[in-house]
Structure 1
Amino acid sequence: MDWEPGLSIWKQIEKQLLADISDGVFAPGDKMPTEMELVRRFGVNRHTVRRAMAALVDSNVVRVEQGRGAFVQEQILDYPLGSKTRFSQIVSGRHRLPDKRLVSSEVLKATATVAQFLDVKPGTRVIELFSVSEADGVPLAVATSYLPAARFDGIVEIFVETKSLTEAFKRFGIDDYSRKTTRISATLPSSRVANLLKQARNRPVISTESVDVDSAGVPIEYGVTAFSSDRVQLIVE
């Protein structure tokens, strides 16, 4: 690499790495070269490389995960939480391609917690849907949804077909529904959730507990969702 006179070498390395990211050499979520790989590429010492990488981290272009290395920061999605929260509409409105994939489903007896949020008796049969929501093929959230089984018999197949609970609800005569409550917290993901989000377990997720109700105020879904904190920013409306 030909160095530009009058400009610090570390700054020139930073500019070159920024150009690589801008040109798509390193895409959002990609792992950056190791420190030694950059030392060999640019023919400089470790201190110079570290300073260039630190500048990229400070400008939020690159993030460092302990024990895993440095990664190009993903595009952060602003995700409004309101009475009409709809994943597909939010993602499409940001000019990105939404997708939702069912990982597993099961019919269970409602625990005391699930029963309380769905306003049913403990032990009532509920459908559990475990799914991954993506934008442009990048996982943003992992959700566990609980639905009253008596009301939504056959919804699993419809959800697989439509990839949308909103569209699935319409097949059961629910053309509109709203968010009753949302609780927000930060936590570390389980191994399963971390793998589905394609992130390290030591990276926190934003966890939400929510209840959706139909037009008569009857609960139709209790959901627990883990959002990638590197890719999603929740906005409370």
Structure 2
Amino acid sequence: MTVSRTAQDFIAAPRRDGIAAWRKIADALEADITGGTLMAGSQLPAETLLAERFAVNRHTVRRALAELTVKGLVRATQGRGTFVEARRLPYPIGPQTRFTQNVAREGREPGAALLAAAHVRADERIASLLALRPGDPVLRLDTLRSADGVPLTLGLSFVPLPRFAGLEAALRLHGAITPAFAACGVADYRRLETRVGARIALPGEAERLDLAPGRPVMVVDSINVDLDAVPIQATRALFAADRTEIVVQS
């Protein structure tokens, strides 16, 4: 690849302005992203090609990419490369909140994975949310949901037992919670309560969500009830804040 005169002037010229080369590279790539030269979801050139483009070593390029990752502009995927993050996905929360519908409405492909399932005893908080007694049996579900293959939310849900003893199998079969509930006799349900907070992702959470260390997540606690207003699900979902925008609907 031939280094353009612009790149030489921008990076390799005498640095009397005191700005580090990695910072100039980060700024140049950010301008490409915000200006549309590098489109959302597109893959950045390999480090070797970027190093050639800007007439620097790979370490300098790597430092620039790390800065863009921290800012939430790009996402490095092991074994695949570095990709431009898509625009934030508007995620409506209202009386009927459905992940699959929310993602599909934005023209993206929803995905879901059941990471783990276990029968446990409800602690005081979960018992209170589900109108149970502490120690009552509940089914715990750990899920990871995505849009166009990019992790979006890490969820931890609890549903009452024995009422939903077949929910795990139904969820594995259908891949979504709404048809899984329908298979267990709940034709429809609604959102009773939603609470939204924020914090920094813990290391394990960041790894699951493919986030850079130190990136924020939105913490969304919710309760769903059936049409008789009986609580059927208590969930804590961690949304990648760089990728989602919560929209509250009445």
May I ask how many residue pairs the two structures share in their alignment? Answer: 221
TM-score by length of 1: 0.79
Between the aligned partners of 1:127 and 1:226, the Cα distance in structure 2 is 19
Report 1:13-92 matches (<5 A): 14=28, 17-18=32-33, 21-22=38-39, 26=43, 33=47, 38=50, 40-43=52-55, 62=73, 72-92=84-104
SS at match of 2:90: strand
TM-score by length of 2: 0.75
Contact 2:87–2:243 at 8 Å: present in 1 too?
Answer: yes
Report deviation, 1:96: 0.8
Residue aligning to 1:160 = 172
Which one of 94, 115, 120 corresponds to residue 103 of structure 1? 115
SS at match of 1:21: coil
Between the aligned partners of 2:195 and 2:118, the Cα distance in structure 1 is 24
Contact 1:20–1:26 at 8 Å: present in 2 too?
Answer: no
1:130 aligns with 2:142: yes
Between the aligned partners of 1:94 and 1:227, the Cα distance in structure 2 is 17
Which one of 167, 171, 185 corresponds to residue 173 of structure 1? 185
Q: Deviations over 1:113-141 (max 9, x none)?
A: 00000000000000000000011111100
Between the aligned partners of 1:178 and 1:23, the Cα distance in structure 2 is 33
Contact 2:90–2:245 at 8 Å: present in 1 too?
Answer: yes
> CA separation of 1:84/1:71 partners in 2, compared to 1, >3 Å: closer, same or farther?
same
Please tell me the residue identity of whatever aligns with 2:39. S
Report deviation, 1:192: 2.5
Report deviation, 1:71: 6.7
Residue aligning to 1:211 = 223
Q: Where in structure 2 are there 5+ consecutive unaligned residues?
A: 12-23, 77-81
> CA separation of 1:17/1:114 partners in 2, compared to 1, >3 Å: closer, same or farther?
same
Between the aligned partners of 2:75 and 2:111, the Cα distance in structure 1 is 28
> CA separation of 1:118/1:95 partners in 2, compared to 1, >3 Å: closer, same or farther?
same
Please, which moves more after superposition, 10-19 or 155-164? 10-19
Report deviation, 1:40: 4.2
SS at match of 1:22: coil
Contact 1:178–1:213 at 8 Å: present in 2 too?
Answer: yes
> CA separation of 1:3/1:182 partners in 2, compared to 1, >3 Å: closer, same or farther?
same
Q: Please, what is the CA RMSD of the aligned residues? A: 3.6
Please tell me the residue identity of whatever aligns with 2:85. Q
Percent identical across equivalent pairs?
31
Contact 1:131–1:144 at 8 Å: present in 2 too?
Answer: yes
Between the aligned partners of 1:140 and 1:24, the Cα distance in structure 2 is 14
Please, which moves more after superposition, 138-147 or 196-205? 196-205
Q: Deviations over 1:58-100 (max 9, x none)?
A: xx893699xxxx9733331000111100000011111111111
Please tell me the residue identity of whatever aligns with 2:5. W
Between the aligned partners of 2:40 and 2:219, the Cα distance in structure 1 is 34
Residue aligning to 2:244 = 232
Contact 2:86–2:243 at 8 Å: present in 1 too?
Answer: yes
Residue aligning to 1:3 = 5
